[in-house]
Amino acid sequence: MTSQRRAVLIAGPTASGKSALALERARSGGGVIINADAMQVYDTLRVVTARPSPEDEALADHRLYGAVPAGERFSTGQWVRSVETLIASLDPSRELIFVGGTGLYFDALIHGFADVPEISAALTFEVQQEIQALDEPERMALLLAEDPATAQRLKVADPQRVTRAIAVKRATGRALSSFQDSQQPGLLENWALERMVLSPDRDVLRERIARRFSAMFENGAVAEVEAIRAQNLDPALPAMKAIGVREISDWLDGVHSREDAITLATIATQQYAKRQRTWFRNRMGDWPRLGLGGAPL
């Protein structure tokens, strides 16, 4: 009888000690660490996105880190397919350790993912421009006209969801809700799962974020931003939106002082961590909570 496959899922906001905990777990049990962070999939920005260092990667098997060129878009669907291929290639006896701050990735692993076709950046931008000046009732009215089935499922017509639904409908001719209704089961269905959300004290996390970005500035972040700027990439690409890229770019261009760049990037990271915590609280409310680096709360 084949034994049940095992996976550990370590989620949490940025700077909460997830990578260190995953490394400790992998080294003690010979597991495979799999990146579940949407920014850490891109190359060029190891320091800026707080990817594991080369030294840490040498201590355990790390996968899907820096695997995608910064000049490409890498969707959740592509990540899921990459994980599916990876799972099939690994020894079933090895424990898989998924670690990251992208809640949607964990959701896809457990509950499945609606594999919506890739929508062009040009079409998405066109829809964004079209709804930019609309208020919430006007956005809902537009969505009702274009995709009533999806509109009926939305409690609030926020710009991101409306843009997504309209772009999908215009690109495919199908309602976004129809893709959601044909969602495939999660990749880890019937696996033995150990789940955790790292949720350190808010003030401690804010201080760690502030210290980390200052250290990034000293340890290669500037060179990485210079390297990605040299590629002359579309500013709308996900990698170009990584926190720190714009702030350091503005410093390099003389828009901000070094201190202001660090402050602005730190504030943006703290705001991002707050959004992550809200997502985990709303969507992973039943996951065990641990403190900094996995310490019991």
For position 250, what pLDDT does the model report?
A: 97
Instruction: Give the length of the chain.
Output: 297
User: pTM, whole model, 2 decimals?
Assistant: 0.84
Domain limits, the chain: 6-115+186-197, 121-181, 201-279
Q: Which residues of 281-295 are buried (b: 16+ CB within 10 A; e: fewer)?
A: eeebeebebbebebe
> Going by C-beta distance under 8 Å and a sequence separation of 6 or more, which residues neighbour residue 20?
293
Rounded distance between C-alpha atoms, residue 98 and residue 245, angstroms: 26
Q: Which residues are annotated as part of the binding site?
A: 12-19
Tens digit of pLDDT at every position of the chain (297 positions): 457 899 999 999 999 999 999 999 999 999 999 999 999 999 999 999 999 999 999 999 999 999 999 999 898 889 999 999 999 999 999 999 999 999 999 999 998 887 788 788 889 999 999 999 999 999 999 999 999 999 999 888 888 889 999 999 999 999 998 887 876 778 998 999 999 999 999 999 999 999 998 899 999 999 999 999 999 999 989 999 999 999 999 999 999 999 999 999 999 999 999 999 999 999 899 999 999 877 777
Q: Which helix (H) or strand (E) holds 177?
A: helix 176-181
Give Cα separations from 1 to 4, 6, 97, 194 (angstroms): 9, 15, 24, 22
Binding-site residues for ATP sit at 12-19
Which CATH class for the 121-181 domain?
A: mainly alpha
In DSSP terms, 10 is beta-bridged to 99, 196
3-state secondary structure of 34: strand
Residue 61, φ and ψ in degrees, nearest 5 = -75, 110
CATH topology of domain 6-115+186-197: Rossmann fold (3.40.50)
Question: What kind of fold does domain 201-279 have according to CATH?
Answer: Helix Hairpins (1.10.287)
User: Which residues are annotated as part of the binding site for substrate?
Assistant: 14-19
The type of residue at 15 is A
